[in-house]
Amino acid sequence: MTGTLSTDTTSGPAWQYRTPRQSLLQWLGWFLLVVLTVFCWQLMNENTIWAFVSDAPDQAMDIGSRMFPPAWGYIGQLWEPLWDTINIATLGTLIGVAIAVPVAFLAASNTTPSTRFVRPLALLLIVTSRSINSLIWALLLVAIIGPGLLAGVIAIGLRSIGFVAKLLYEAIEEIDFNQVEAVRATGASGAQVIDYAIVPQILPAFWGISVFRWDINIRESTILGLVGAGGLGIQLSASLATLAWNQVAMIFVVILVTVVISEWVSARVRQAVI
């Protein structure tokens, strides 16, 4: 983006933010965006049955009325799956973080032992973990190690590796290198440089990222039961299957309260470490 100056006008030099070529490209970009929007709208309408859509408010009202009031007494059966859900999220986060920390150091360009070989491998691991949703990890793991909590914990753990490692390696790449140089100049070994110069600089980021991921994992683990990986999701799929809408509403209330509490905890922790 370089501006242009032209001196051929009579009223002194004129400065333009973009060259004519850049302006043209920009207009072309906007035009393509409009074309894409029109195309997508058409695609969406092709498979929509408008009779059903016009019916939607009535249907929503119907389900809404069946959901209300929530089955408050159902809470008795929810405590145990709720505990499972929290355990899945917490253990999964711990596993994810434990693996993500070394991966982040291997992936950060300023700490990796080899940019040619190890770094691409670590980045591949991060991308793989990030590109597959927890629910799909859980589907795979239920097939491999059978239904239950373990599948859920591992699914959450695998998904967390990429998230935590990516944010952490970016934090490592942004550290102040003068501090590293100063510690190295004292004759410190590699492990000591990490301990004294790098860890103190990334510690706030580390706690922030870990707690944030734990908070996300609480939300994600509530649905893992849908594919048989334990927790509240099992109860949810059972209630949905029997059309017990007031039980479904109760489960939503429990999930909402849990998520609010976990967000509060993560906000407090992030405040404390900065």
> Which one of 201, 219, 269, 270 is in contact with another protein (CB under 8 A)?
201
Task: Report if residue 62 touches another protein, rule: CB under 8 A.
Answer: no
Rounded to whole angstroms, the Cα distance separating 2 from 240 reads: 59
Pick one of 110, 179, 237, 246: the residue that binds another protein (CB under 8 A).
Answer: 179
176 near another protein, judged by CB under 8 A: yes
Residues 212/196, Cβ–Cβ less than 8 Å: no
Judged by CB under 8 A, the residue of 34, 38, 185, 241 near another protein is 185
Binds another protein (CB under 8 A): choice among 109, 114, 192, 242:
192
191: contact with another protein by CB under 8 A = yes
Interaction of residue 271 with another protein, rule CB under 8 A: no
In angstroms, give the least distance from the CB of 199 to another protein. Answer: 9
174 counts as binding another protein under rule CB under 8 A: no
* Residue 274 found at the interface with another protein (CB under 8 A): no
CA gap 176, 82 in Å, rounded: 43
Q: How far apart are alpha carbons 234 and 213 in whole angstroms?
A: 23
Residue 192 Cβ vs another protein, minimum distance, rounded to whole Å? 5
Is position 196 an interface residue for another protein (rule: CB under 8 A)?
Answer: yes
Cβ atoms of residues 151 and 228 within 8 Å:
yes
H helices then E strands: how many in the chain?
12, 2
Which residue of 63, 188, 240, 253 would you call a contact of another protein, by CB under 8 A?
A: 188
**Neighbouring residues of 149: CB distance < 8 A, sequence distance ≥ 6:** 84, 87, 88, 229, 230, 231
Q: How far is CA 263 from CA 32, 257, 266, in A?
A: 40, 10, 5
Structure tokens at 171: 């934090």
Q: Which is nearer to another protein, 182 or 269 (CB)?
A: 182
Which of 83, 186, 268, 272 forms a contact with another protein (CB under 8 A)? Answer: 186
C-alpha atoms less than 13 angstroms from C-alpha of 33 in its C-beta half-sphere:
6
Residue 111 per-residue DSSP state: T
* Least distance in angstroms from the C-beta of 93 to another protein: 24
Q: Which is nearer to another protein, 208 or 230 (CB)?
A: 208
**Is residue 187 involved in binding another protein (CB under 8 A)?**
yes
Q: Please name every residue paired with 5 in a beta bridge, in sequence order, or none if there are none.
A: 15
Q: Which of 120, 146, 200, 272 binds another protein (CB under 8 A)?
A: 200
Q: Which of residues 202-261 bind another protein (CB under 8 A)?
A: 203-204
| Binding test (CB under 8 A) with another protein, winner from 18, 130, 184, 219 | 184
6: which strand partners? 14
Distance CA 273, CA 204 (A): 5
CB of 85 to another protein, least distance (A): 35
> Of residues 94, 121, 182, 240, which one binds another protein by CB under 8 A?
182
Judged by DSSP in three states, 6 sits in: strand
Q: Which segments of 69-198 does DSSP mark as H helices, in order?
A: 79-107, 118-131, 134-145, 149-173, 177-185, 190-193
Binding site for another protein (CB under 8 A): 176, 178-179, 181-189, 191-192, 195-197, 200-201, 203-204
